[in-house]
Amino acid sequence: MPVKLQFKFPTATLTQEADYILDAAEEHAAEINARLEENFVATQRTLLGTVRGGTSGHKSKAADVAGLTGAQNDAFTDLKDLVGRAKESAKRAFASQDVKLRSEFQVGITTPGDLASVLSRARIVRDSCVRDTNAQLLAKKGWIAGDTTALTHAIDALDTKDDTQEGAKTDKTDATDARNSAANELYEGLLTIQNAANNQWPERNSANAGIRAKFRLGLFPPRQERKKKETSPAPPAPPA
């Protein structure tokens, strides 16, 4: 059976709200992580990249990195090298900005290891390198526009080679199911983080209002408009 979404609002809303909630969880990791499973927030960040990649039109890949052909392995090696150097440059350009490094440059995130996830994380890194404000600071640390172009070519090369591998493509239903599964898992993960935040910073303490807003408590999930109940027409008035 097809995998259906467990929520009734747009996936774009899920990814936008996920960014807010995960940023808050990473900012307040010292307090919130004790209430969550190990690496829970990092796992949700990876899921966000997977969902975002799927909704932006990138094709899902069924092939695992371990099953790549020789040509694909060469392309994968180039991609891995460029992504690694981009991350190292980012760590120099944005030292101590842990949230930015994790969310925009995927520093510390290496799983899942399937090809779709590898490509999704590489695109996130590439897109972050392209941003003007980031590019200027990266250039001061030795990562220039030509390096970003090379990373784009490496992504395209691996993507193209994967498309030509027999049996590597998934059909539209499989792609939708994979995206929906990741979105459902991300949705449940965000609710778990919110529950942990609600316990850490209870609503009864008015001083917690600001931090609760960061975790989108009371704002996410968005309230659904209730359909107005159809009312039966009033009976006709008796004749005078």
pLDDT tens, 167-180? 444 445 667 888 89
Residues 163 and 85 occupy one common structural domain: yes
Residues 111 and 49 occupy one common structural domain: no
Q: Please state the rounded mean pLDDT for residues 94-102.
A: 93
User: Does 200 fall in a domain?
Assistant: yes
Number of domains in the chain: 2
Token pair recorded at residue 198: 């609600």
pLDDT category at 73 given cuts 50, 70, 90 is confident
Residues 67 and 158 occupy one common structural domain: yes
User: Does 227 fall in a domain?
Assistant: no
Q: Is the pLDDT of residue 166 over 70?
A: no
| Opening angle at CA 198, ends 24 and 103, nearest 5 | 15
User: Does 127 fall in a domain?
Assistant: yes
Residues 69 and 130 occupy one common structural domain: yes
pLDDT value of position 157 = 87
User: Does 126 fall in a domain?
Assistant: yes
Residues 66 and 127 occupy one common structural domain: yes
Q: Is the pLDDT of residue 226 over 50?
A: no
Q: Please state the rounded mean pLDDT for residues 88-94.
A: 96
* Rama region for 142: left / alpha / beta (φ>0; ψ in -120 to 50; rest): left
Q: Note the pTM of the prediction, 2 decimals.
A: 0.50
**Domain carrying residue 161:** 62-169
Q: Is the pLDDT of residue 154 over 50?
A: yes
pLDDT value of position 102 = 93
Helix or strand run (H / E) with residue 70: helix 70-93
